[in-house]
């Protein structure tokens, strides 16, 4: 079985990223790009990002998670600490995030250190989620082997019965991470594969930019 993809080509012509367009702070540029993609509404989940970790088996692993907030401290997402990603981060907090927004022919790649958010922040976000999602955190032991779909649904029913008429508590093993960036690259597709790549690197308390060859 094979499939030839040699003719899958696209010319990137929607925008540009020149030095005079780049602010001193990368979070400002990220917010501009995020808002532009959100505005045109072409991305199903504009906050979807790929999280890359190094697993306990020393292999890299990528998966898509959802960005839930960002500011100049970093980029926040939530998960089960006992999941593959949680265990990987506990062993090696060096991670990479990447956003791909094909509607604007853009990518953002972020390298940084993942740290747990405060228990207060995680609890506040947990209780902002739909009740079904809160119960799901109790029903699913993320990344562990499960016998069947029926077992998951049974676990959910048990959680519903246990917390019927009550506030669903946040599990101790569930919380958030903030990825504090050391480098952020902004990639804008251009014609003839001469893409614009501007990288911000953290040096003490300031950011230094450089253009990278495509």
Residues with catalytic roles: 193
Quote the CA–CA distance of 22 and 72 in Å, as a whole number.
Answer: 16
- Give 151-211 as a 3 state SS string: HHHHHHHHHHHHCCCCCCCCCCCEEEEEEEEEEEEEEECCHHHCCEEEEEEEECCEEEEEE
* Closest to 189 in 3D by CA, of 9, 34, 13, 7: 13
C-beta separation of 65 from 77 below 8 A? yes
Beta strand residue intervals within the chain, DSSP E: 48-54, 60-66, 69-71, 74-80, 94-101, 106-116, 174-188, 196-203, 206-211
């Amino acid at each position: 079985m094979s499939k030839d993809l040699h003719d899958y080509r696209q010319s990137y012509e929607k925008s540009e990223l020149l030095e005079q367009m780049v602010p001193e702070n990368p979070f400002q540029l990220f917010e501009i790009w995020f808002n532009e993609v959100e505005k045109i509404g072409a991305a199903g989940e504009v906050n979807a990002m790929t999280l890359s970790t190094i697993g306990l088996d020393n292999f890299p692993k990528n998966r898509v998670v959802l960005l839930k907030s960002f500011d100049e401290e970093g980029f926040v997402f939530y998960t089960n600490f006992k999941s593959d990603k949680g265990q990987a981060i506990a062993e090696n907090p060096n991670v990479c995030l990447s956003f791909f927004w094909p509607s604007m022919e853009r990518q953002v790649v972020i390298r940084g250190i993942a740290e747990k958010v405060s228990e207060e922040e995680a609890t506040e976000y947990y209780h902002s989620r739909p009740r079904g999602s809160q119960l799901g955190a109790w029903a699913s032991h993320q990344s562990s082997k499960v016998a069947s779909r029926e077992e998951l649904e049974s676990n959910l029913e048990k959680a519903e019965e246990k917390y019927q008429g009550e506030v669903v508590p946040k599990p101790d093993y569930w919380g958030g991470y903030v990825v504090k960036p050391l480098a952020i690259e902004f990639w804008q597709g251009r014609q003839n594969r001469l893409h614009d790549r501007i990288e911000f690197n953290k040096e003490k308390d300031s950011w230094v930019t450089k253009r990278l060859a495509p």
